[in-house]
Amino acid sequence: MTIDRATLAASIDQTLLKPTVGFKAAAVWIEQSAQRGFASLCVSPFLVPVTAQILGGTGTKVCSVCGFPLGYAMTETKAEEAAHLVGLGCQEVDMVMNVAAFLEDEDAFVQDDIGAVVASVREASEGSALVKVILETGYLDAVQIVRACHVAVAAGADFVKTSTGFGPRGASTDDVRAMREAVGPKIGVKAAGGIRDLPAALAMLQAGASRIGSSAGIEILDAFDARSGA
């Protein structure tokens, strides 16, 4: 698999979800990331307004998280949060699946939970915003990963995503391959959690990821430039 720099950048959700980063540090980070060609900047919910302001006109989307990082908030709370994020300028919402319910085989509940967020985002954005469902694959076995993908797709998800980065482990190429096979070519697969360098990012893309979530997007692009002599 060969990939050029622009395509690599456009596959990355450059991510800032550290609980200790406030407005001033985030503004510097957003400015540094805004012109890199990333698919999105994925930021903490309270940072969505400033991110939307700085990214205006750049082509890079604003992404944030819902029900994060544990996924066990009430469905109504998740749906309201997601709609509010869209109202503040969010174009992509990464929601956490209710892992606890899923592990007890409450698939109908989980599907309804995801579906409520999807419907809320669709309504708030008039159908333009995307929903990515975080499965937190570190808690799941191979069979459960496939099942979770099917539940998310049935609920209307645009993407399935591996991890929050706060769970028991991050993404693996095995997870990504299984997810891609489960959802087919029309649904996005986002690999996130522990992807900090160029080889890891390229391995995830090779395995079938269409997006990479990483806090090291700039470093990944710099490494690509160094490798290609740019």
**One-letter-per-residue 3-state SS of the chain:** CCCCHHHHHCCEEEEECCCCCCHHHHHHHHHHHCCCCCCEEEECHHHHHHHHHHHCCCCCEEEEEECCCCCCCCHHHHHHHHHHHHHCCCCEEEEECCHHHHHCCCHHHHHHHHHHHHHHHHHHHCCCCEEEEECCHHHCCHHHHHHHHHHHHHCCCCEEECCCCCCCCCCCHHHHHHHHHHHCCCCEEEEECCCCCHHHHHHHHHHCCCEEEECCHHHHHHHHHHHHCC
Domains and their CATH numbers in the chain: 64-228 (3.20.20.70)
* pLDDT per residue as tens digits for the range 125-145: 999 999 999 999 999 999 999
Average pLDDT value over all residues in the chain: 97
The pLDDT assigned to 105 comes to 98
Active site includes 94?
Answer: yes
pLDDT at 230 over 80: no
Catalytic residue among 61, 132, 161, 175: 161
Burial 48-82 (b: 16+ CB within 10 A, else e): bebbbebbeeeebbbbbbbbbeebebebeebbbbb
Residue-wise pLDDT for 87-102, tens only, equals 999 999 999 999 999 9
> How much is the pLDDT for 6?
97
Question: Given pLDDT bands bounded at 50, 70 and 90, which one contains residue 228?
Answer: confident
pLDDT mean over 60-89: 98
For residue 229, pLDDT over 80 is answered with no
pLDDT, tens digit (0-9, with 9 covering 90-100), for 163-199: 999 999 999 999 999 999 999 999 999 999 999 999 9
Active site residue 161: yes
Taking residues 51-66, report their average pLDDT. Answer: 97
Which residue out of 13, 78, 94, 132 is catalytically annotated?
A: 94
| Catalytic, out of 61, 78, 132, 190 | 190
pTM: predicted TM-score of the whole model, two decimal places: 0.97
Write the pLDDT tens digit of every residue in 2-27. Answer: 899 999 999 999 999 999 999 999 99
Q: What is the mean pLDDT of residues 54-83?
A: 97
